[in-house]
Amino acid sequence: MGRIFNFNAGPSALPLPVLEKMQAELLDYNGTGMSIMEHSHRAKDFEAVLADSKKLMTEVMGIPANYKIIYCTGGASTQFALIPMNFLHEGSGDYVETGEWAEKAIKEAKIQGKKFNIAASTKEANGLYTRVPKQSELKIDPNARFLHITTNNTIFGTQYKYLPESGKVPLILDMSSDIMSKKMDFNNVGMIYAGAQKNMGPSGVTVVILRDDMLEKLAPGLPTMFSYKTYVDNDSLYNTPPTIAIYLVKLVLEWAKDVGGIPQIEKWNDEKAKLLYGMFDKYPDFYKGTTEKESRSWMNVTWRLPNEKLEETFVAEAKKAKLGGLKGHRKVGGIRASLYNAVTVEGVKALCGFMEEFYSKNK
């Protein structure tokens, strides 16, 4: 069949040069006669991979010197539990509810009996989310330990175009689906976490970026593997980390640097979003976007067709045209195209061309 244009929401597309380099190095990494998967996590070759990945991440993302980078397992879902465990042993945390993953983060704080406040919610009566809140809607407790937001909502196709002003309250950002998609300001960002499998690498590893002063607020007496201090103190090597996933993160960061860094990636993402959302504006009665324009996501574009039968036909015919991963999330239905960093402008143009043809045949 050959390679398709992959619009899956995650695990998702990886840059072709990354896959090719991984293939070339798979059997014999760096002249060692074995795969990086076979190396000890404490061997010098993997330690170099780990160090290089963090150095590249700092350079590509512009991470200030007062932040630590650690690698964890368990996806963002585990971070939902670790955050209240580590930071809400005293005081209260603020959460903004904008979708499924924000709801799950709040649920974990509730399970642990921690104090928290919903600073804003955009949940509608039908359970859907069509936007993120405006700054004026946020009711932030000035004494909160943190303000938690999900910067991009994969299921509902909404994304923050700004980072909230939160005074002295540090931001904790779940950036699982839009990390590295555009330049960001680290001002007042206490922590970022992201499952790598959308924009930064494969599934199996979660990146956590912690500001130094956040480490001073950690709860004492936690189980060893549940404390962020363990990961920082042991350079993510207290136990065996997902070595092949970290290696692939390094390759993705090398690719990002080689193509011109985040400035170039941001230009591509802007172009891709304008192309695809342009189809909604051109055929508004056929391709109906599900989000308010001001909250439209660059990463996950969601829409409906006039009826579900047409949606099923659209997905099936798109697959035949080598356009994969377009079925909407099971909770909301419809169509979803994920435009993560590795999705090319060429791929989005192919999708738009298919949409033109599909409209002509089915209007």
Choose among 137, 110, 132, 134: nearest CA to 122.
Answer: 132
Catalytic residue among 94, 141, 174, 178: 174
Q: Is 174 a catalytic residue?
A: yes
Q: Is 139 a catalytic residue?
A: no
Choose among 250, 78, 242, 243: nearest CA to 176.
Answer: 78
Q: How far apart are CA 279 and CA 41, in angstroms?
A: 48
3-state secondary structure the chain: CCCCEECCCCCCCCCHHHHHHHHHHCCCHHHCCCCHHHCCCCCHHHHHHHHHHHHHHHHHHCCCCCEEEEEECCHHHHHHHHHHHHHCCCCEEEEEECCHHHHHHHHHHHHCCCEEEEEEECECCCCCECCCCCHHHCCCCCCCCCEEEECEECCCCEECCCCCCCCCCCEEEECCCCCCCCCCCCCCEEEEEEECCCCCCCCCCEEEEEEHHHHHHCCCCCCHHHCHHHHHHCCCCCCCCCHHHHHHHHHHHHHHHHCCHHHHHHHHHHHHHHHHHHHHHHCCCCCEECCCHHHECCCEEEEECCCHHHHHHHHHHHHHCCEECCECCCCCCCEEEECCCCCCHHHHHHHHHHHHHHHHHHC
Catalytic residue among 101, 268, 298, 303: 101
Question: How many beta carbons lie within 10 A of that of residue 86, not counting itself?
Answer: 22
Catalytic residue among 198, 250, 272, 327: 198
Q: Is 298 a catalytic residue?
A: no
Q: How far apart are CA 184 and CA 166, in angstroms?
A: 16
CB 220 within 8 A of CB 80: no
The residues carrying an active-site annotation are 101, 174, 198
